[in-house]
């Protein structure tokens, strides 16, 4: 059951010869979610073997160009490929102007519906509720309206210990009751306590995306306990003042967020082009949070399934 994050574009506002602006794909159990769509996004997806037509949902954190300049090309390619399935776009409410322009001037031949979901929340809020996955959005601390995203697997249905099924001759009805979290009371008065007979088959996994943002008080609270965290690190600590001025984070600040949130692993990205060598980012972050890693184009970060069957 795949649960992974592919980093495609890792640069901040100014792309370089070997790095593109923000674009990433999160995968969960066969579903693909595009997060931000900077210039060159669709080319990077093709390079990584990611199907454009399998994208069902697009999340745009904010409307700065380095996070959305690839959207027209992507939507146009979907038209050329004959897409018919609805496409859901979650973005700040002002994006409806951009979307209207695209439809008016570049939407000829469009066979698919674009469902635009404006983001306006001031607190963490659930925006998608699927069978086995929930997606939340929450406001960030940037120069313009910006949102972060949290993807959480739902708690799985309980399993019944196989050795007790046979030992106590459990019926299908009794097994179903136990899986639903209920105790079973048999006709002779015997009580089969749910806690004794069941277990959680695996630990639900989670992933959070925080870009662009300066640190803020409630950030760690909203992503507490996340398994995998992508956090912008536009600058190193030698440019803390610049980071503060432009409402960005340093690698050290990103690492502090990961540490405070109790994250499992931190991925640093959205690097300023002023840094030719990214090792400084990694060292700075690992001095605070050991499980820090650098994003690179096409790299896949997986969260393995931790089974609890015993």
Token pair belonging to 207:
């992933």
213/238 Cα distance (integer angstroms): 18
Name residues whose C-beta falls within 8 Å of residue 122's C-beta, 6 or more positions apart in sequence: 139
Name residues whose C-beta falls within 8 Å of residue 102's C-beta, 6 or more positions apart in sequence: 71, 72, 75
The active-site residue, picked from 18, 36, 66, 188, is: 66
Of the candidates 62, 67, 74, the residue with the CA atom closest to the CA atom of residue 24: 67
- The answer to whether 8 and 54 have CB atoms below 8 angstroms apart is no
180/157 Cα distance (integer angstroms): 7
Beta strands (DSSP E) in 20-146 are: 23-28, 31-37, 55-59, 87-92, 114-119, 125-129, 133-139
State which H helix or E strand residue 244 sits in.
helix 240-245
Catalytic residue check, 66 = yes
Of the candidates 31, 35, 6, 32, the residue with the CA atom closest to the CA atom of residue 22: 35
Return the active site residues: 66
């Amino acid at each position: 059951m795949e649960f992974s994050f592919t980093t495609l574009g890792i640069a901040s506002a100014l792309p370089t010869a070997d790095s593109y602006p923000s674009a990433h794909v999160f995968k969960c159990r066969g579903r693909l979610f595009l997060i931000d769509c900077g210039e060159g996004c669709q080319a990077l997806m093709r390079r990584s073997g990611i199907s454009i037509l399998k994208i069902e949902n697009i999340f745009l954190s904010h409307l700065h160009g380095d996070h959305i300049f690839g959207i027209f090309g992507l939507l146009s390619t979907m038209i050329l490929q004959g897409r018919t399935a609805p496409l859901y776009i979650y973005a700040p409410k002002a994006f409806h102007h951009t979307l209207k322009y695209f439809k008016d001037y570049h939407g000829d031949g469009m066979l698919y519906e674009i469902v635009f979901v404006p983001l306006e929340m001031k607190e963490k809020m659930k925006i998608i509720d699927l069978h086995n996955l929930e997606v939340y959005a929450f406001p960030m601390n940037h120069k313009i309206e910006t949102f972060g995203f949290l993807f959480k697997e739902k708690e799985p249905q309980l399993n019944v210990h196989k050795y007790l099924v046979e030992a106590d001759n459990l019926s299908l009805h009794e097994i179903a009751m136990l899986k639903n979290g209920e105790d079973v009371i048999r006709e002779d008065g015997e009580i089969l306590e749910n806690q004794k007979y069941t277990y959680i088959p695996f630990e639900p996994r989670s992933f959070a995306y925080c870009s662009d943002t300066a640190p803020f008080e409630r950030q760690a609270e909203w992503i507490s306990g996340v398994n995998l965290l992508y956090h912008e690190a536009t600058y190193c600590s030698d440019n803390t003042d610049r980071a503060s001025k432009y409402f960005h984070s340093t690698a050290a600040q990103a690492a502090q967020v990961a540490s405070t949130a109790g994250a499992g692993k931190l991925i640093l990205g959205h690097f300023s082009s002023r840094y030719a060598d990214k090792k400084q980012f990694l060292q700075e972050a690992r001095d605070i949070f050991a499980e820090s890693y650098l994003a690179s184009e096409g790299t896949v970060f997986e969260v393995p399934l931790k089974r609890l069957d015993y």
